[in-house]
Amino acid sequence: MQFGIFTVGDIAPDPVTGHTQSEAERISNLVRIARKADEVGLDVFALGEHHNPPFIPSSPTTLLAHIAALTERIILSTSVTLMTTNDPVKIAEDYAMLQHVAKGRLDLMTGRGNTVPVYPWFGKDIRQGVALALENYNLVHRLWREDVVDWEGRFRTPLQGFTSTPRPLDDVPPFVWHGSIRTPEIAEQAAYYGNGYFANHVLAPNFHFKPLVELYRERFEHYEHGTKEQAIVGLGGQGFIARRSQDAVNTFRPYFENYPLFRGTRLEDYMHGTPLSVGSPQEVIEKTLTFQEGFGDYQRQLWSLDSMGLPVEMALEQVELLGTEVVPVLRKEMAARRKPGAPEAPTHQSLVRAKYGDAEPRAPRPNPNRGDNLSGTSPYQDSDPEVQALFPQVI
């Protein structure tokens, strides 16, 4: 079982102090939060992708690569990478590069996002959102598994003899989670490929996403990847922790009730009716254990702990309490309740072992005799004498 945090990277005024972090502060503080998560033994740090204010993570690969260089063991992920408005070739290349930089400590969560205007900003039609998500991931899947790809689809130019570089580390692609809260087609796609399915278990009534999770499990079994109990499920969550329950409620209330998304909502009502976990470490533990009861054994639990204008020191304290007071107990309790045969979340190391056993992984290398993907011509061949003089050793 993996436990970690995810962030949407929002910027909001602190309703207590009135301070609003600058973009530079927020980016720097996200790095501090990720490093703290690594330090206290959490398994995953996931970063969203947004292209509109008040959010700042428009380039998750850039920030995650920086975090990879400053951390030691934590898995880096996205929450989510926009499969609709990004070019699938660029996704394949960027995240394979990040996988190398992170030395395998990377997986990918794909999704459609929740911002309507982002589609025309990137030249896409929101009415084609599901079709874009399906087609684009289908291409990414092939680009990571086939050295040379011929491809033609509806939404981008065709590919002829194309090789995505770099090839995935050890020739093993990053594990992919498909994140969705409303789209059966995405659950179906996750099941078809034997990938993970992530339901961001926030902003809805308790167990609202259970039908989608069950659909994914049933289709996972249908495609013969294993039994439905062996399907790979992740859940989101949202919380605020303090050593005393009432301190948690009193401290978190102004942040929650003044945040535009929740304005007009009473904190206690939201705590009761949704997966939001606010209270002492024991109360957060007990609330999270109900997720296992409702959804069955699952493989990844992430929480959002740093949004709504929380000052960074408070967010760091949240990560500390989660990693030292909550997660150790959950690891023990969930393991004790786990049914025999329930799988662990895949990692790069487990995927390498599954593919190669005790053999050495493949290490793809460029073929110097092959030249470019289409014609076989050396990229340095040129009739211009000045160009030839620059590259005498390869012409």
Predicted local confidence at residue 386, as pLDDT:
56
**Residue 274 — φ and ψ, nearest 5°?**
-130, 175
Average pLDDT over residues 336-346: 96
pLDDT for 125 beyond 90: yes
Predicted local confidence at residue 186, as pLDDT:
96
Parallel, antiparallel, or unpaired: how do β-strands 149-151 and 108-111 relate? unpaired
> Mean pLDDT lowest for which of 76-90, 201-215, 370-384?
370-384
Average pLDDT over residues 136-164: 97
- 318 and 391 share one domain: no
Whether the CB-CB separation of 93 and 165 falls below 8 Å is answered with yes
Q: How many helices (H) and strands (E) are present in the chain, helices listed first?
A: 14, 13
- 274 and 394 share one domain: no
Predicted local confidence at residue 115, as pLDDT:
82
Q: What percent of the chain has pLDDT over 70?
A: 93
- 284 and 375 share one domain: no
Predicted local confidence at residue 253, as pLDDT:
98
- 349 and 379 share one domain: no
List the CATH number of the domain containing 129.
3.20.20.30
Parallel, antiparallel, or unpaired: how do β-strands 81-82 and 108-111 relate? parallel
Q: How confident is the model at residue 152 (pLDDT cuts 50, 70, 90)?
A: very high
CA 96 – CA 202 distance, rounded (Å): 30
Q: How many other CB atoms are found less than 10 A from the CB of residue 391?
A: 13
Q: Using one digit for the tens of pLDDT, what is the confidence trace for 156-181?
A: 999 999 999 999 999 999 999 999 98
For residue 106, give the 3-state DSSP assignment: strand
- 8 and 143 share one domain: yes
CA 86, 92, 93, 95 dihedral sign is positive
> Mean pLDDT lowest for which of 196-200, 306-310, 318-322, 372-376?
372-376
Domain count, the chain: 2
Whether the CB-CB separation of 77 and 107 falls below 8 Å is answered with yes
- 231 and 379 share one domain: no
**Residue 179 — φ and ψ, nearest 5°?**
-95, 130
Predicted local confidence at residue 113, as pLDDT:
82
pLDDT for 6 beyond 90: yes
Predicted local confidence at residue 40, as pLDDT:
98
Average pLDDT over residues 285-314: 97
Predicted local confidence at residue 371, as pLDDT:
53
> Average per-residue pLDDT in the chain?
93
CA 210 – CA 295 distance, rounded (Å): 6
Average pLDDT over residues 279-283: 98
- 99 and 187 share one domain: yes
- 321 and 384 share one domain: no
- 151 and 105 share one domain: yes
Parallel, antiparallel, or unpaired: how do β-strands 239-241 and 176-179 relate? unpaired
pLDDT for 368 beyond 70: no
Q: Using one digit for the tens of pLDDT, what is the confidence trace for 10-26?
A: 999 999 999 999 999 99
CA 336 – CA 10 distance, rounded (Å): 37
Q: How confident is the model at residue 392 (pLDDT cuts 50, 70, 90)?
A: very low
CA 348 – CA 106 distance, rounded (Å): 8
Encoded tokens for 351? 């995927």
pLDDT for 387 beyond 90: no
Q: How confident is the model at residue 393 (pLDDT cuts 50, 70, 90)?
A: very low
pLDDT for 395 beyond 90: no
CA 54 – CA 121 distance, rounded (Å): 16
- 91 and 136 share one domain: yes
Nearest to 216 by CA among 204, 234, 202, 201: 234
Q: How confident is the model at residue 384 (pLDDT cuts 50, 70, 90)?
A: low
- 278 and 375 share one domain: no
Residues 161-165: contacts with CB under 8 Å, at least 24 apart: 161/373, 161/374, 162/89, 162/373, 163/373, 164/89, 164/92, 164/93, 164/96, 165/93, 165/96, 165/366
Q: Using one digit for the tens of pLDDT, what is the confidence trace for 47-97?
A: 999 999 999 999 999 999 999 999 999 999 999 999 999 999 999 999 999
Predicted local confidence at residue 385, as pLDDT:
57
Domain that holds residue 74: 2-364
CA distances from 33 to 38, 317, 356 (A): 9, 10, 35
pLDDT for 377 beyond 80: no
Predicted local confidence at residue 382, as pLDDT:
47
Amino acid at 13: P
Average pLDDT over residues 239-266: 97
> Mean pLDDT lowest for which of 10-24, 232-246, 319-333, 355-369?
355-369
Whether the CB-CB separation of 178 and 187 falls below 8 Å is answered with yes
Between 86 and 371, residue with greater pLDDT: 86
Between 376 and 160, residue with greater pLDDT: 160
pLDDT for 370 beyond 90: no
Q: What percent of the chain has pLDDT over 90?
A: 89
Encoded tokens for 147? 């050295």
For residue 334, give the 3-state DSSP assignment: helix
Predicted local confidence at residue 380, as pLDDT:
46
- 211 and 188 share one domain: yes
